[in-house]
Chain A
Amino acid sequence: MSNTQAIPVEITRAGERDVKIRWQDGHESVYPARELRLKCPCAGCLDEVTGALRLIASSVPQDVHPLKIEQVGRYAVTIRWSDGHHTGIYAFDYLRKVCPCCSDKRQATSDK
């Protein structure tokens, strides 16, 4: 059921802190580290019912960055962050949805 776009081939570094994903359809997403931290989908950061952000942005260090990224199952990765946070499971579908270069366009056409 996972859409074919949301299959990553490689997850690497972009610059010193940022995360780059190369997708099977050839697209490349670059996620600025802090932006990705603020998009953590875990229950502590995001209200799982309303979708509202629980995390207070000002509490996240400006220089926050991933220390380690690991695959979870066949659908997601977890990120161990420099601020100690590590409970988020970033599903590939989700990562693709929040791709910085695509999400502007997406918002214009449809949001689900």
Chain B
Amino acid sequence: MATQYIIPIASGKGGVGKSTVSANLALALAKTGAAVGLMDADVYGPSIPTMLGITKPPEVDASNRIKPVEQHGLKVVSMGFFMKPGEAAIWRGPMLHKTVQQFLTGVAWGDLDYLIIDTPPGTGDVTLSLCQSIPLTGVVIVSTPQDIALNVAQRAIAMFKKLNAPILGIIENMSHYVCPRCGQREEIFGVGGARKTAERMAIPFLGEIPLSTPIRVASDEGKPIVLSQPESPGAKAFTAVASHLAAQAGLRAQQGAQVKVTF
């Protein structure tokens, strides 16, 4: 697998919009002409297939590797493709670790510029296993203003730091309410919490996504807002975040080291 940037999207707790952000960022990156893979590693509640309106399962190629489903210009693989309802409970420990590995090596991703990985809620087994078994470019933390206020995002960041997983940046989701009729912005939990926290923790701040009903509706209908309403404030916010993400990923790739290993 030749993938330039591998970027898991994670959070301190569930329901903050990881899947929404993953899908829209992947689409925004693909729009710039990049080859983008989207891996849905949420073994507890895979939602990417629904968000992208994927109905058919992936095929297997001649050498028995899974061929990602091509949808809206993305290459998509979801844990949901391989699970029966109620199966989630068995994905633990070594089994989980193996499954995560298979996702990376057993899938014919081809050459990708970006592999965006949607992770399950919280900093649980799957996310940790992922971060400990693949060459990440950096983890992106999605947080809501509430999350920041309650220190949930900060704890997640501390957790990843402890694992020595690089952090690419923080995104604030549902940061303010945009009135769908007049476009007026209203801050509901106070402004700039994530930005300040990012600054304080010396982590890049990648931007804010407004809380707006069209974002949710578009995902529910299987065509995320970046595709269905590219001129909307929500889509523009995702596009802006995607470009910051791309810049940070590029920077990150230049840092660190190419080491000569002879062992």
| A interface, CB within 8 angstroms of B | 1-2, 7-13, 19, 24, 41-43, 48-49, 51, 66, 68-77, 87-89, 91-94
Contacts and interface: CB of A to CB of B under 8 A. Distances in A.
B85 interface: no
B260 A10 contact: yes
Given A48-B128, A74-B256, A74-B257, A89 B263 contact: no
Given A7-B256, A72-B134, A74-B256, 18 more contacts: A9-B259, A11-B259, A11-B261, A11-B263, A12-B262, A19-B263, A24-B257, A41-B164, A43-B129, A43-B163, A48-B159, A51-B162, A73-B6, A73-B256, A89-B133, A89-B163, A92-B256, A93-B164
B251 to A, nearest CB: 10
Interface residues of B, number: 28
B166 interface: yes
Interface in B210-263: 252-253, 255-263
Interface of B: 6, 97, 125, 128-129, 132-137, 159, 162-164, 166, 202, 252-253, 255-263
The 7 A-B residue pairs whose C-beta atoms are closest, nearest first, are A74-B256, A91-B164, A73-B135, A69-B263, A72-B135, A7-B257, A11-B261
Contacts of B136: 73
A8 B162 CA distance: 20
Given A2-B256, A48-B159, A49-B159, A87 B128 contact: no
